[in-house]
Amino acid sequence: MNTKPRLSFWQIWNMSFGFMGIQIGFGLQQANMSPIYKYLGAEESSLPYLWLAGPITGLLIQPVIGAMSDRTWNRLGRRRPYFLVGAILSSICLLLMPFSSALWMAASLLWILDASINTSMEPFRAFVGDKLPEEQRTTGFVMQSFFIGIGQTLANAAPFILATLGVTGVMASGIPNATLYAFIIGAAAFLVAVLWTVVSTKEYPPEDIEEFRRKQSQENVVSHIFKEIWDALKDMPTTMKQLAVVQFFTWFALPCMWQFYGLAVARHIFLAPDEKSPLFAAGTEWGGLSFAVYNVGCFLVAFLIPPFAKATNRKTTHFICLALGGLGLLSTYYAQDKYFLWVGMAGVGIAWASILSMPYVILAGAIKPSRMGVYMGVFNLFIVLPQIVMSLIVPQIYENILGKDPLNVVLLGGFVMLLAAFSVLIVKDVGAANIDTTVPSASAVAGTEQ
The pLDDT tens digits of the residues spanning 118-164 come to 888 878 877 877 788 877 877 887 788 778 778 888 998 899 999 99
Q: What is the pLDDT of residue 209?
A: 64
Rounded to an integer, the average pLDDT of 383-405 is 93
Q: How many CB atoms neighbour CB 140 within 10 A?
A: 26
Which DSSP string corresponds to 191-230?
A: HHHHHHHHHH---PPPSSHHHHHHHHHHS-HHHHHHHHHH
Percent helix / strand / coil, the chain, rounded to 5: 75, 0, 25
Q: Does the pLDDT at position 40 exceed 70?
A: yes
Q: What is the pLDDT of residue 217?
A: 59
DSSP 8-state code for residue 176: B
Rounded to an integer, the average pLDDT of 315-342 is 95
Percent of the chain surpassing pLDDT 90: 48
- More reliable by pLDDT, 220 or 49: 49
Return the closest-CA partner of residue 293 out of 352, 249, 354: 352
Q: What is the pLDDT of residue 437?
A: 42
Q: Does the pLDDT at position 414 exceed 90?
A: yes
Q: Does the pLDDT at position 353 exceed 70?
A: yes
Q: How many CB atoms neighbour CB 74 within 10 A?
A: 8
Angle at 375 between CA 379 and CA 249, to 5 degrees: 10
As a whole number of angstroms, the distance between CA 288 and CA 291 comes to 5
Angle at 53 between CA 47 and CA 54, to 5 degrees: 100
Write down the mean pLDDT value for the chain.
Answer: 85
Compute the half-sphere exposure of residue 315: CA atoms within 13 Å on the CB side of its CA. Answer: 15
Confidence of residue 256 (pLDDT cuts 50, 70, 90): very high
Hey, what amino acid is at 303? F
Confidence of residue 448 (pLDDT cuts 50, 70, 90): very low
The model's pTM is 0.76
CA distances from 397 to 2, 150, 193, 333 (A): 53, 35, 41, 19
Q: Find out whether 178 and 7 touch, Cβ atoms under 8 Å.
A: no
The answer to whether the Cα torsion of 330, 334, 338, 341 is positive or negative is negative
Q: Which residues, including other chains, have CB under 8 Å from residue 21's CB and lie 6 or more apart?
A: 87, 151, 189, 190, 191, 192, 193, 194
H helix intervals, 356-380: 358-364, 372-379
The neighbouring-strand residues paired with 170 are 176
Domain locations along the chain: 9-434
Q: Does the pLDDT at position 215 exceed 70?
A: no
Percent of the chain surpassing pLDDT 70: 88
As a whole number of angstroms, the distance between CA 33 and CA 250 comes to 21
Confidence of residue 211 (pLDDT cuts 50, 70, 90): low
Question: 116-120, 190-194, 356-360, 368-372 — which is least confidently predicted?
Answer: 368-372
As a whole number of angstroms, the distance between CA 416 and CA 343 comes to 19
Q: Does the pLDDT at position 246 exceed 80?
A: yes
The pLDDT tens digits of the residues spanning 264-286 come to 999 999 999 888 888 998 999 99
CA distances from 184 to 99, 294, 350 (A): 11, 23, 29
Q: Does the pLDDT at position 86 exceed 50?
A: yes
Confidence of residue 296 (pLDDT cuts 50, 70, 90): confident
Q: Does the pLDDT at position 41 exceed 70?
A: yes
Give residue 200's Cα distance to chain centre.
23
Q: Is the CATH number 3.40.50.300 carried by domain 9-434?
A: no
Confidence of residue 444 (pLDDT cuts 50, 70, 90): very low
Q: Which residues, including other chains, have CB under 8 Å from residue 35's CB and lie 6 or more apart?
A: 179, 262, 263, 275, 280, 281, 284
Confidence of residue 449 (pLDDT cuts 50, 70, 90): very low
Rounded to an integer, the average pLDDT of 344-358 is 91
- More reliable by pLDDT, 92 or 381: 92
Q: How many CB atoms neighbour CB 274 within 10 A?
A: 10
Q: Find out whether 94 and 71 touch, Cβ atoms under 8 Å.
A: no
Q: How many CB atoms neighbour CB 124 within 10 A?
A: 23
Q: What is the pLDDT of residue 445?
A: 24
Q: How many Å is the Cα radius of gyration of the chain?
A: 21
As a whole number of angstroms, the distance between CA 159 and CA 424 comes to 36
Greatest mean pLDDT among 106-120, 168-182, 411-425:
411-425
Give residue 2's Cα distance to chain centre.
31
Q: Find out whether 378 and 290 touch, Cβ atoms under 8 Å.
A: no
